[in-house]
Structure 1
Amino acid sequence: MAGAARAQVSTPIDEGLAQHLLNRLGYGPSPGELARVRAMGVQAYVDSQLAPPPMPPRLEERLRALSGPDAHGEEALLRAIASPRQLEEVLVGFWLQHFREGDAAGRVVRPHVLGSYAGLGAALGKRGGEGAAMQALVRHFVTAPSANLQRSVARVWESTRGDQRAVLRRLLTSPEFLARSQWNGKEKDALRFVSSAVRASGLVVENVAPLMPFVRGPLSDKERAEFVERLAGGRLALAPVRPHEYASSAPPLRAIEAAQGSVSQPGPVLMTAPTPSAVAMAAARGQPADPVRLREQLQNQEFLRY
């Protein structure tokens, strides 16, 4: 406990503790994040998630473009994988489960998860239940929390009238949450396993439709193995080639009308179908940098826990 408490003010922190933070406050590390969080330390990283950065414009664009019967589920999955606001997405999932709401309510809940509990409940038409909600929140982040921790969080909840930033700051910087005994203490569900695996791969993700069959229910060992092979083998079209996106590598000709006929001049042109070089570029984007290492990482039993 003492070592965990010291980690709040000293940097760099232990790699295992950084992994724990990224696992519990989000959906696992992407390449380079462990080093970044180690250098930041506990307090700075927790604060960065309690006052999260803006969403990348390209991600916002992709989220707006989602449509169809799976749109809400695809939005939840894409946010879990690609959003820099990782804690926000974990909290959305927690509150939807707590209030027994579906993915469609995510857009209602999201603006309130770092606000007041009263505002969160009002957005969903819920009243009361603060004691049960607080206890559930503590248990979501801490396995078998002590009575002392629950009393400590309850005091903050009462004094701030349910301000979630203040409550989470107390909870997520507590020695009990940071203790080594908490690391890898929970089992990943399908959404968390798939999201953390894709984040670990470092792949650019714009299309989550190929992932949806793997997050609709508990994964069997066979289904998990199939997913790992397809991800490591670059056989999931997560950033598909789109017509009109790639320029030809050959010097194209552009016809320009002139007074005395048509003159051909070199100039850039976007092809209506990808050229072989464009296909190779897209394949490279969909292929993990080190498939063997990724496969070994995802097949490790420790990766099933967080």
Structure 2
Amino acid sequence: MVIPNHNKEKTIRACLTAVYAQTHSPAEVIVVDDASTDRSRQIVAEFDCTLVAFPVNRGVSAARNTGAARADGDVLLFVDSDIALAPDALAVALRTLREHPACGVVQGIYDLHPLFADGPVESYKTLFEHFWRRRAAGLSTSTMFALTALPRRVFELVGGFDERLRDAEDIEFGTRLPAAYEIRTSAEMVGRHDDVDRLWPYLSELFRRALTYADAVVLARWSPRPEPDRPTDGRTPHGVDLASVAGMLGSALAVVTVPLVAVSGWLLVVPVGLLAVFLAADRELLAFAFRQRGSVFLLYATMMRFLTHLTEFAGLSIGVGRALVRRLRPDRARPAALGARR
């Protein structure tokens, strides 16, 4: 089991306690501390695990690659240090890989409730992540590595994580996974996540990930296919969620068309209609929020979802623009992903 960590003294004890409470005990536990400046390393030292400490911050991709290189097992389970696994999470992962020989990656979902409840922003974020990941249960098209297991041979075949990426590195990993391997999301493989709990950091994270997503996935979709003998040949990059696209466009265009009201009051129908598109696109999520938390939370979730769409639209727009520049100017193209550190 590989646990990357950076300044998670708040959660690392809960994470490791859950690891050692698994119904199927892990063969080894490796914590890679990415130059933490808090008490993380002292807390990790309380547990019977291997601690690898970076002297300088290198990012989550480097931490995961280093942990994988130190591991001896045939199956790697990556879990972030702000997640506490359900007791049977490891057992579910191993059973899924055993029952589905073509499965190259099995990934879990977040619990509906956060590891530590820290306010409404985190409550919304956790609810959204639970809803989205649970809806994706079964065969998936993209990889998420907050709570994920895969055979070592598959990890090495893909080449590990691109250490230049600090966001969306897990999604980019999936674009290099050979098409012969399935990606499965298991609703039985669960972890409680301590998520972002303030509005500005939440929106900033969304914006950064949208920028990187455009570079790692959108550019990959437009790039020429690799040679037939390359192991990545045949894997279609991350699929497009049409509902999310409709929600983003509806939200962004609703804001853009508000000035039309100055021309004629009748033109108010345009932004109102676009808001209706946004609500229709997210009706399942908003209905879930209402069922779980009631009408007051529904209003809050609607506002948060609207801000989410605006932020992601801005990030993707800028990211796609940058990707187009790289596409048109090969000398500025992002080079191929780095191999795994052996």
TM-score normalized by structure 1?
Answer: 0.28
- Greater share of strand: 2
Higher Cα Rg: structure 1 or 2?
1
TM-score normalized by structure 2?
Answer: 0.26
